């Protein structure tokens, strides 16, 4: 448990358990050749819910001479005390300041967490700008889904690990350990060269971006000999071989996802054209049923949690879902451990599975039609119909559910007001289906709507984003149409979607705006009560940048994206073809159990789809 924080410091701050460490399952190594801080750029209860760090914490601490420790962003009240008292941001395990660690790793889960990264570096005593870091300062490593466009952070980071980290991060750490034991020959640059040679590692300082007269990117070229023109992602070929943690750290306080998280498989091949995760995590690789049962039972015994969540991008697509769910319920029910299935397909089979796994405690039911009209659902390649949704709802009603939550997006490419209003029509049809079955009203529907953001490595990366004013107009249009009893309407703040869009498709010139926003007080921008749109507009203006240039402008067919030197393996030609098919309203079939659609991932990276459907049959 941390000894560097006094009771006086913790007194008066919200949730002091965020800062003390010493939780059951935490690993403390007082002596270590390499100290690696896994720093999450949000508060403790959000970061402790992140499965990726549970895995990496486990794998790194298995390495001899390596200590992996945790660090989270302090909330505003704690930061004020730390700055006033001169306390550096430090790890939970040993209270080591970030400046005294060897490597500090941040996960890039969300563009609006970037200012927290700068703030944590500054609080930890680390130079914010990579070029100004002294020899003894830690190397700043980033990974996660947003790493495929980390250019807005290029000025601040030393190393970007592209793709999956289970094999790559221990390899990078071993490389650092060897360099340090050799006496750090050649200084920081030599280690960066060694890191780049490992593959799947991007060193921003080794590259330079060039621009056309109109401000678009003409290319990003390597400056150092041996730096590859394109860095391809790291990927695990067989998840059954990954040493998955079954005794993770158990927090003292309630966290966002306060449960065991069991990853069924990685990847998704459904091909939704707005979905970044569905592209960057390809191909699908499943874990064996026997392995999952073993991991689940060990985790339940080791942690004392009363819930296991079956997680993946589309958990209901797991080939052995029915026998897995049945076995888990049978084995865990006596210990009052429930099973939850957070991501459901829109079909009655999934409803039946959800009903079975809720034998211990019942939770809500959520479906994601994404768009209200069939025309727009076809354009985004969702592959579900209104009849599919109503059939699934009917199955839910027959199983006893009294409410459902529906997720949609507005601002999708080609969207009309009729498409927006179709969301309200669909919600009302769901209510009516309950009346038709039960002979009375009362079914509760929650409509949750977010603004579309064009993301890298999706078919919609060419699309422009709606302005803040247009998003608000559509929100108001839908709000008026949903003034119906027992229908609740939730929506995301439009300006946050705009800034997210700027950074999702932005280039390294945005580093200046990011720094200026942070200096003006930007913190926790993903929290609605902390986000300030005027502050961001002011920072962008001072940096000489136009947010509409990045977010609202449709990209030209041949325009170079700022991030194309970092690749998940999906080809540009495939994505362009999908963009064209979306405009024609054509569906593209799932390749997982059908014909290859030519995205390019498997041959480029030497990977295979791992699917056990045939064994089940």
pLDDT at 1 (0 to 100): 61
Look at residues 601, 500, 613, 554 and name the one whose alpha carbon lies nearest to residue 235.
601
> What's the pLDDT score for residue 334?
85
Q: 364-509+545-555 in CATH: which number?
A: 3.30.750.200
Q: How far is CA 190 from the centre of its chain?
A: 32
- 18-69 pLDDT tens trace: 999 999 999 999 999 999 999 999 999 999 999 999 999 999 999 999 999 9
Whole-number pLDDT of residue 419: 98
Give the helix ranges, DSSP H, for 268-340. Answer: 277-280, 289-303, 321-332
Neighbour order of strands in the sheet with 338-340: 260-263, 307-311, 338-340
3-state secondary structure of 134: coil
Going from the C-alpha of 498 to that of each of 65, 454, 504, the distances in angstroms are: 45, 10, 10
CA distance 352 to 320: 14
Structural contact between residues 321 and 611, judged by C-beta atoms closer than 8 angstroms: no
Domain 7-232 of CATH type 3.40.50.280:
yes
**Helix, strand, or coil (residue 18):** helix
CATH number for the region 241-361+587-617 comes to: 3.30.750.210
* pTM exceeding 0.85: yes
Q: Work out the angle between the directed axes of helices 417-438 and 386-398 (0-180°, nearest 10).
A: 30
pLDDT at 466: 96
- Residue 8: count of CB within 10 angstroms of its CB: 9
What whole-number distance in Å separates Cα of residue 107 and Cα of residue 50? 10
Task: Give domain limits for the chain.
Answer: 7-232, 241-361+587-617, 364-509+545-555
pLDDT of residue 185: 97
Q: Which pLDDT score is estimated for 361?
A: 63
Q: In the chain, which residues have pLDDT < 70? A: 1, 359-362, 614-617
For residues 122 and 156, what is the distance between their CA atoms, to the nearest angstrom? 11
Rounded distance between C-alpha atoms, residue 192 and residue 67, angstroms: 21
> Percent of the chain, pLDDT > 90?
90
Identical topology for domains 241-361+587-617 and 364-509+545-555: yes
């Amino acid at each position: 448990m941390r000894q560097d924080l006094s009771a006086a410091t913790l007194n008066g701050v919200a949730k002091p358990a965020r800062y003390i460490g010493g939780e059951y399952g935490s690993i403390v190594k007082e002596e270590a050749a390499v100290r690696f801080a896994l720093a999450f750029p949000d508060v403790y209860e959000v970061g402790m819910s992140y499965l990726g760090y549970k895995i990496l914490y486990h794998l790194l601490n298995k390495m001899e001479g390596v200590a992996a420790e945790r660090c989270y962003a302090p909330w505003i009240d704690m930061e004020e005390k730390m700055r006033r008292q001169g306390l550096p941001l430090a790890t939970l395990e040993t209270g080591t300041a970030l400046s005294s660690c060897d490597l500090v790793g941040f996960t890039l889960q969300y563009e609006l967490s970037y200012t927290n990264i700068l703030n944590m570096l500054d609080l930890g005593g680390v130079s914010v700008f990579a070029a100004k870091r002294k020899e003894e300062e830690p190397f700043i490593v980033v990974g996660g889904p947003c790493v495929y466009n980390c250019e807005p952070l290029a000025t601040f980071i030393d190393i970007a690990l592209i793709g999956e980290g289970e094999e790559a991060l221990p390899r990078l750490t071993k490389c650092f350990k060897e360099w340090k034991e050799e006496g750090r020959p050649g200084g920081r640059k030599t280690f960066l060269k060694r890191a780049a040679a490992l593959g799947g590692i991007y060193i921003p300082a080794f590259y330079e971006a060039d621009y056309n007269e109109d401000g678009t990117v003409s290319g990003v070229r390597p400056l150092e000999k041996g730096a590859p023109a394109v860095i391809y992602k790291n990927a695990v070929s067989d998840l059954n071989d990954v040493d998955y943690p079954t005794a993770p750290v158990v927090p003292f306080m309630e966290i966002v996802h306060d449960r065991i998280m069991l990853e069924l498989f990685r990847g998704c091949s459904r091909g939704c054209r707005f979905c970044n995760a569905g592209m960057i995590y390809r191909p699908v690789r499943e874990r064996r049923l026997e392995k999952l049962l073993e991991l689940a039972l060990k985790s339940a015994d080791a942690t004392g949690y009363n819930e296991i969540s079956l997680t993946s991008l589309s958990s209901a697509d797991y080939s052995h879902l029915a026998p897995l769910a049945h076995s888990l319920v049978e084995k865990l029910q006596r210990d009052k451990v429930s099973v939850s299935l957070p991501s459901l397909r829109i079909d009655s089979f999934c409803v039946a599975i959800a009903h079975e796994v809720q034998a211990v405690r019942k939770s809500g039911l959520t479906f994601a039609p994404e768009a209200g009209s069939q025309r727009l659902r076809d354009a985004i390649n969702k592959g579900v119909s209104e009849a599919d949704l109503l059939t699934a709802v009917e199955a839910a009603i027959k199983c006893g559910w009294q409410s459902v939550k529906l997720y949609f997006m507005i601002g999708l490419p080609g969207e009309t007001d009729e498409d927006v209003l179709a969301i309200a029509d669909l919600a009302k049809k769901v209510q009516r289906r309950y009346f038709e079955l039960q002979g009375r009203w009362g079914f509760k529907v929650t409509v949750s709507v977010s603004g579309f953001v064009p993301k890298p490595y999706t078919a919609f990366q060419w699309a422009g984003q709606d302005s803040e004013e247009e998003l608000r107009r559509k929100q108001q249009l839908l709000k008026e149409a949903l003034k119906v009893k027992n229908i609740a309407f939730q929506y995301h703040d439009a300006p946050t979607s705009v800034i997210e869009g700027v950074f999702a498709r932005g280039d390294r010139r945005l580093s200046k705006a990011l720094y200026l926003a942070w200096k003006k007080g930007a913190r926790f921008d993903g929290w609605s009560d902390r986000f300030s749109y005027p502050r961001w507009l002011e920072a962008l203006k001072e940096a000489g940048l136009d947010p509409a240039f990045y977010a609202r402008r449709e990209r030209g067919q041949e325009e170079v994206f700022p991030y194309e030197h970092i690749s998940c393996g999906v080809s540009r030609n495939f994505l362009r073809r999908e963009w064209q098919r979306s405009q024609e309203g054509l569906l593209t079939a799932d390749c997982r159990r059908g014909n290859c659609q030519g995205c390019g991932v498997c041959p480029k990276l030497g990977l295979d789809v791992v699917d056990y459907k045939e064994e089940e049959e």
